[in-house]
Structure 1
């Protein structure tokens, strides 16, 4: 199976607004990138970094704009980064925020990535470094990541703050001026990783909103470590299944193609750990069903259709078989039960009957 990192859909920022404002078609962009448009409404959904890269590359081509990701990045904010953004924004100082960002990024938001701080005299170089091997769209991704890092510093230094300079690794010289004009700061080209550079004294900047926000809840903390390990084949396949479920009920062949494994190899490797493709699909359907029931006002019929059932009755029977509760009654469960069932922990399966 192809080795890859993973990221959350929230890292795409307000991509639909930016594409539409530029006269592009967000629907066409997602079709060409072979990704479900439902990602726009599911910011916590994981997707392979290579798919994230490809979407940014396709968007850049759609808009005929080589620095599209800089325009997108200028409209990003900490709020768009969900739990990760909240955790970092609650740090008492910028130094602690940078530490939190670096240590929690691979678990909360995006793995195969490092945020590294290096001191050069009176300057701090804060770099974004990738270990994922995918190349297509990588440059656009780095442009976007740099702006998220700027957003973190701005939380402490003020909304108009800019780094003394931005370094982009492996950047064509023709893009230096356009990026400099958009960023309103000095842009340099380097051989190392992309980074922002600022005065080291800024590290002691105090959080202006210190004490105003609440800490993370137990259920939020429970979701921190849900990015799959590189050696966790079922976890990695589950990411692909859950991604596909935003658009269609995925077939074994489709998931095999996306994972780079033949149908036979995929089945064999799952069998070696006592699982089958049906097990993974069932669990993904159950998770999505519970999420839709608890976090949306969609009708039972609409949810049944989204999950690929021919009619609401079929879905209701399947839901009750594995949960012991009808979907309409599930929605009336106490809030504490809802949080416990949807915080990312494995669901309790009462039946092995396929949904």
Structure 2
């Protein structure tokens, strides 16, 4: 059986990681080079990246600065309301219950796939879990603790910035040291759970927005949907589009980022009646249209950005895709 293709997340889920790493004496750009991800991950928060690639990026970042709790510490500076249009939408709900409902409903289409949110109520307490259905193991615990931090920030939008959960539940082995994590989160830590999450007072579920200047507000904006777990073509196309940030996409690079092989990837595409070249052509056409629509980047520079050594080759390709020259498309 072929391996399941990786889930996806937006680059925005890493929060202000560049500034955070600079303060810790590390370099996010150097880590990106080490895990073979384009620098655009830091500059374009709306783009999507394979979830397994984010796991590995966090693991490498932790090694870069020598912090075994890197994901938890990064989580202390993220804000849910700044987490793409999805985060702004969630934190605009009137009550915490409505915010959580929005999170459960929109997560897999607006922000991140292979991720499941679950709320369980037990008397006066509730547990809110976040599960990453992704086989990657390197960096998993960093991503889990980062996800928990986003959950905590959602509740703070309604309970106030000083709020802390009663317990942070982790999937780290039972018996793992707790003291440092308890200092980071400012609350009790319980290890050994199948799925990470937080426990808090159920009375907070009906709490309305906490009106404070400290709650960041981000204007909602349209963003492309994240490809679903079952969308094979959309998944491959998204990674090909990511590869375009650093030149013409290579099939081996795309396959590696999806956790599969070149042969399996090409078989997937044949089964869906297409090819890698067709996927790349579609991605090139979309990226070219986006750049031309901006109206500020010269056509020659667009050609070079898309991996063409000669602007004339780009112009011929664009005319083949659209029936018009790049300059005519921009003028229209």
TM-score (structure 2 length as normaliser): 0.88
Cα distance in 2 for partners of 1:144, 1:308 equals: 35
- Equivalence map 1:154-169=2 (5 Å): 154-169=156-171
Cα distance in 2 for partners of 1:93, 1:296 equals: 42
Structure 1 partner of 2:134:
132
Unpaired segments of 5 or more residues in structure 1?
A: 334-355
Cα distance in 1 for partners of 2:15, 2:227 equals: 19
Structure 2 partner of 1:147:
149
Instruction: Single out whichever of 2-11 and 291-300 deviates more from structure 2.
Output: 291-300
> Could you report, residue by residue, the CA deviation over 1:178-204 in whole angstroms, capped at 9, with x for unpaired residues?
111122222222323111111111101
**CA 312–160 in structure 1, closer or farther in 2 if over 3 Å, else same:** farther
Give the match's secondary structure for 1:245.
helix
Aligned-residue offset at 1:258: 4.2
Asked if 1 retains the 8 angstrom alpha-carbon contact of 2:144 and 2:196, the reply is: yes
Structure 1 partner of 2:314:
315
Aligned-residue offset at 1:109: 0.9
**CA 133–152 in structure 1, closer or farther in 2 if over 3 Å, else same:** same
Cα distance in 2 for partners of 1:162, 1:296 equals: 47
Structure 1 partner of 2:234:
235
**Paired residue total:** 325
Cα distance in 2 for partners of 1:191, 1:301 equals: 55
> Could you report, residue by residue, the CA deviation over 1:274-328 in whole angstroms, capped at 9, with x for unpaired residues?
2121110000111222223335843333322221011334323432332244434
Give the match's secondary structure for 2:18.
helix
Asked if 2 retains the 8 angstrom alpha-carbon contact of 1:267 and 1:277, the reply is: yes
**CA 159–320 in structure 1, closer or farther in 2 if over 3 Å, else same:** farther
**CA 41–215 in structure 1, closer or farther in 2 if over 3 Å, else same:** closer
Give the match's secondary structure for 1:132.
coil
Structure 2 partner of 1:119:
121
1:33 matched to 2:35? The reply is: yes
Unpaired segments of 5 or more residues in structure 2?
A: 212-216
Asked if 2 retains the 8 angstrom alpha-carbon contact of 1:2 and 1:259, the reply is: no
Structure 2 partner of 1:284:
283
Structure 1 partner of 2:214:
none
Asked if 1 retains the 8 angstrom alpha-carbon contact of 2:55 and 2:139, the reply is: yes
CA RMSD, Structure 1 to Structure 2 (Å): 2.5
Give the match's secondary structure for 2:254.
helix
> Could you report, residue by residue, the CA deviation over 1:252-273 in whole angstroms, capped at 9, with x for unpaired residues?
3433444455545544442333
Aligned-residue offset at 1:169: 1.8
Give the match's secondary structure for 1:310.
coil
Aligned partner (choices 72, 79, 82) of residue 80 of structure 1: 82
Cα distance in 2 for partners of 1:215, 1:15 equals: 21
**CA 95–178 in structure 1, closer or farther in 2 if over 3 Å, else same:** same
**CA 309–28 in structure 1, closer or farther in 2 if over 3 Å, else same:** same
Structure 1 partner of 2:209:
207
